[in-house]
């Protein structure tokens, strides 16, 4: 039979409390019985020691002394027996004639050795249990005589029974309260778990906005906090997936456009050459156009391949010492014609010789991507390449006077498929919005950092920091 969590909790709580009350009841009953018995023994011992003391002090008037004590002890329902070394009762207030009926041989031997005896025993003549105390009188370590006192255990039993009755009623009341408390606690736990269950069902249906109002510092409360944090992460992940999906769709549209244009151009030129529709004077120009469009397609494909290889750490980095002056001149030479078409001046700002410890081809790729990006978003301005070297690192800055970016755009430029200027459908550099994503990954592979500072309508500055070669002797 399968039990619900509520019933399991209720049963476990009530069982623990019931066992605890039951164990305490038994222990209390035993302690109460022992306490009442010890109190009776102490009373009888006190009577006996006082009687023996009076016998020592008034040895010649024993009969009067015993008569007086008998009158007093009868009111306490106590019987006493005075006996000598021959086990004969010299004075008796009970039905027994010899102490052997009250004490066993072993107890009698202990008594003769000077040991006080206290026992509980059922006696047939009294038809009830009796508490018995026997006290010896010793002189020079020799047994002289003794006194035995016996009192019925009925009064003690009545006290214990009354305590037991009170304890039973108290236990029943406590069990009822325990059951009520267990029911409330179990119901509360069930409610909190059901809230988690309902929230989990909503998560399974795709609702990542759900939150569970669980409080407290117990395990369920902490589980609720973790659950809410999980839903927050899932919601953010879903939002990120949606953003990437939106960019992917835009990316596919861009791919279609970017590939269709050169392919259409190349197809038209090839058909023209095949059918002799292009004049001889235009064939060389047409071939140059086909070559240009082919390189553009290769660049588009390589850009995507580079990103995937970088992301999966499949690009090896071979660091060497590189002269930044030569590298900047290479970048300027390759991009100067493109910059002149947009009336942009390229500047190199190097006061002294500056070197960088990096992979030559990848550093060229980084600088080309950023510089192309600066030229793309600048009109009739300037792009400056600057390098500074310290003992620990090389700092490269590429600054333009272009259209700049907002804070939101700065946060997004490193993401794949992102394009800062969505109005441009024909983008000759970083066509798929992968250029800066590749740049950042390459900088990280160099154990460096890259930062962006930009002001809308004033310009943008990229700052790359690359660590110097570590001294092997350190």
Mind listing the pLDDT tens digit for each residue in 255-283? 676 677 778 888 888 888 888 888 888 88
Task: Return the domain boundaries, the chain.
Answer: 5-159, 219-307, 317-467
For 423-465, the pLDDT digits (tens) are 433 444 444 455 787 888 889 989 999 999 999 989 999 999 9
How much is the average pLDDT of 359-375? 90
What six digits make up the tokens of 206?
Answer: 């795709």
Q: Which fold has domain 219-307?
A: Helix Hairpins (1.10.287)
How much is the average pLDDT of 317-344? 91
- Cα distance between residue 97 and residue 400, in whole Å: 128
Q: Nearest Cα to 335, choosing from 382, 405, 289?
A: 382
Q: Which fold has domain 317-467?
A: Heat Shock Protein 90 (3.30.565)
What six digits make up the tokens of 251?
Answer: 């990316």
Name the least confident of 36-40, 174-178, 187-191, 216-220.
216-220
The predicted structure's pLDDT at residue 416: 59
The predicted structure's pLDDT at residue 474: 40
Query: Burial, 318: exposed, middle or buried (Cβ in 10 Å; 0-12, 13-18, 19+)?
Result: exposed
Beta strand 382-389 pairing with 393-400: antiparallel
Is the predicted pLDDT of residue 400 greater than 90, yes or no? yes
Element (H, E) at 56: helix 5-57
Helices (H), 95-145: 105-112
Domain 5-159 matches domain 219-307 at the CATH topology level:
no
- Cα distance between residue 454 and residue 440, in whole Å: 17
Q: Under a CB-based contact definition with an 8 Å cutoff, are residues 234 and 206 in contact?
A: no
Please give the class, per CATH, of domain 5-159. alpha beta
For 279-290, the pLDDT digits (tens) are 888 888 888 888
Is the predicted pLDDT of residue 236 greater than 70, yes or no? yes
Q: Under a CB-based contact definition with an 8 Å cutoff, are residues 264 and 288 in contact?
A: no
- Cα distance between residue 363 and residue 371, in whole Å: 12
Q: Is 460 helix (H, G, I), strand (E, B) or coil?
A: strand
Bigger pLDDT: 253 vs 141 = 141
Q: Looking at 98-200, which runs of residues are DSSP E strands?
A: 117-123, 128-139, 142-152
DSSP state of 327: H
Q: Which residue has the tokens 């009341």?
A: 173
């Amino acid at each position: 039979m399968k039990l619900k969590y509520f019933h399991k909790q209720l049963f476990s709580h009530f069982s623990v409390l019931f066992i605890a009350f039951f164990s305490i009841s038994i222990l209390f009953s035993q302690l109460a019985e022992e306490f009442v018995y010890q109190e009776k023994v102490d009373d009888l011992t006190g009577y006996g020691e006082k009687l023996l003391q009076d016998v020592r002090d008034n040895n010649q008037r024993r009969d009067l002394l015993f008569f007086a004590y008998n009158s007093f002890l009868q009111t306490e329902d106590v019987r006493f027996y005075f006996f000598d070394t021959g086990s004969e009762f010299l004075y008796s207030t009970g039905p027994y004639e010899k102490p052997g009926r009250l004490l066993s041989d072993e107890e009698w031997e202990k008594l003769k050795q000077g040991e006080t005896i206290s026992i509980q025993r059922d006696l047939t003549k009294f038809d009830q249990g009796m508490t018995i105390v026997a006290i010896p009188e010793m002189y020079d370590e020799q047994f002289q005589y003794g006194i035995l006192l016996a009192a019925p255990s009925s009064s003690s039993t009545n006290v214990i029974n009354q305590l037991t009755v009170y304890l039973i009623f108290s236990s029943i009341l406590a069990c009822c309260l325990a059951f009520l408390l267990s029911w409330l606690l179990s119901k509360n736990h069930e409610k909190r778990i059901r809230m988690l269950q309902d929230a989990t069902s909503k998560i399974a249906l795709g609702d990542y906005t759900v939150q569970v109002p669980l409080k407290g510092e117990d395990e369920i409360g902490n589980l609720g906090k973790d659950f809410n944090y999980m839903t927050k992460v899932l919601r953010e992940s879903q939002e990120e997936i949606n953003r990437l999906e939106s960019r992917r769709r835009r990316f596919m549209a861009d791919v279609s456009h970017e590939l269709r244009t050169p392919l259409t151009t190349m197809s038209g030129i090839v058909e023209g050459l095949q059918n002799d529709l292009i004049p001889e004077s235009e064939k060389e120009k047409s071939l140059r156009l086909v070559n240009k469009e082919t390189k553009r397609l290769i660049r588009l494909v390589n850009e995507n391949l580079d990103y995937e290889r970088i992301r999966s750490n499949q690009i090896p980095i071979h660091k060497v010492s590189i002269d930044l002056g030569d590298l900047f001149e290479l970048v300027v030479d390759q991009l100067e014609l493109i910059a002149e078409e947009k009336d942009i001046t390229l500047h190199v700002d190097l006061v002294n010789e500056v070197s960088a410890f990096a992979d030559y081809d990848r550093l060229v790729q980084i600088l080309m991507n950023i510089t192309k990006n600066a030229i793309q978003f600048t009109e009739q301005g300037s792009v400056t390449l600057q390098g500074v070297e310290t003992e620990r690192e090389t700092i490269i800055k590429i600054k333009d006077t272009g259209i700049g970016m907002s804070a939101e755009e700065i946060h997004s430029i490193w993401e794949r498929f992102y394009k800062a200027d969505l109005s441009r459908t024909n983008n000759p550099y970083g066509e798929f919005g992968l250029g800066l994503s590749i740049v950042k990954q390459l900088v990280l592979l160099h154990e460096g950092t890259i930062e962006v500072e930009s002001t809308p309508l004033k310009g943008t500055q990229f700052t790359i920091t690359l660590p110097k070669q570590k001294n092997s002797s350190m």
